[in-house]
Amino acid sequence: MRLSESQVSEFQQNGFVVVKGFFGAGDMTLISDWLDGLAAKDGGGESKFFETSETTGESILVRIEDIFGGNNADFAERVISSDARTCLDQLLGEAPVLFKEKINFKLPGCRADKLHQDQAAGWNRYTDFFITMAIAVDENRLDNAALSFMTSGNYERSLMCPEWEPLSENDPPYEPNDEYALLEADPGDVIFFDCYVPHGSPPNTGNRSRRNIFLTFNRASDGDMRAQYYADKAKSYPANAAAEARTPDTFLV
């Protein structure tokens, strides 16, 4: 599978493109079961991040990272399929190299992800361009924190505010209203987006989870920086246990 010319130009103009039904129902059942297994298991090489829910006060799993560092090879192959590599190659202009991978669980009670540019999460120290492939595992709807993206293409292809800061403290609908849209997605839909396009999601105020996988890639010519990224992150923002859930004023991304 290749992206059409119009999909590539949509990405270049707006900073993202949605590809409906990228993964079929069979793949999504396996992927969903795999996520359940990862969430339930103790130990393993993956990094889990827990936070205290602002609404329920409970400790909740918000994210699992570093999933493919020697583990879960079958699933790495399934999600970073040859179709995925072809599309990423088209968008990056050269072969993709995995930079980082995470599952955002966004369970009921999970806080907002404020409007931001991904590059603001300290990525400048690695290189200046990344593309993320987001895979919707559950239905993404307004009630369970579907993502909102700037759709106008009206953003800088560089940092628009200091690192680690959000672009806005507000939840969606973001302002100006006509420049943003809620992206309701179904399981198997994929969003390819660049590291500068503003996006975010509200708290999950519903009663169903919204699990999405985020796979971030850089250009092969920038090298393989994944091990360094996770070594740095282990020092600056280590994984934690449910009993040591982070409070809203202490979490990063």
Ligand X SMILES: O=C(O)CCC(=O)C(=O)O
| Residues making contact with ligand X (CB under 6 A) | 104, 106, 113, 118, 145, 147, 199-201, 212, 214, 253
Instruction: Quote the least distance from Cβ 62 to ligand X, whole Å.
Output: 9
For residues 19, 22, 25, 26, the Cα torsion angle rounded to the nearest 10 degrees is -170
Q: Look at the chain and count its residues.
A: 253
Q: Which is nearer to ligand X, 199 or 233 (CB)?
A: 199
Q: Which is nearer to ligand X, 221 or 250 (CB)?
A: 250
CB 101 within 8 A of CB 150: no
Q: Which is nearer to ligand X, 72 or 209 (CB)?
A: 209
Instruction: Quote the least distance from Cβ 95 to ligand X, whole Å.
Output: 23
Q: Which is nearer to ligand X, 86 or 230 (CB)?
A: 230
Separation between Cα atoms, residue 202 and residue 108, nearest integer Å: 11
Q: Residues 6 or more apart from 41 whose CB is under 8 A from it?
A: none
> Listing from the earlier edge strand, what are the strands of the sheet with 96-104?
16-19, 190-194, 131-136, 212-219, 96-104, 59-65, 47-52
- Residue 23's alpha-carbon distances to 1, 79, 100, 137, 187, in angstroms, are 11, 9, 20, 10, 8
Q: Which is nearer to ligand X, 1 or 46 (CB)?
A: 46
Q: Which is nearer to ligand X, 92 or 195 (CB)?
A: 195
Instruction: Quote the least distance from Cβ 2 to ligand X, whole Å.
Output: 26
Instruction: Quote the least distance from Cβ 140 to ligand X, whole Å.
Output: 9
Separation between Cα atoms, residue 127 and residue 125, nearest integer Å: 6
Residue of 197, 78, 190 whose CA lies nearest to 133: 190
**Left, alpha or beta for 89 (phi > 0: left; psi -120 to 50: alpha)?**
alpha
Instruction: Quote the least distance from Cβ 121 to ligand X, whole Å.
Output: 7
Q: Which is nearer to ligand X, 4 or 207 (CB)?
A: 207
Instruction: Quote the least distance from Cβ 172 to ligand X, whole Å.
Output: 11
Instruction: Quote the least distance from Cβ 253 to ligand X, whole Å.
Output: 6
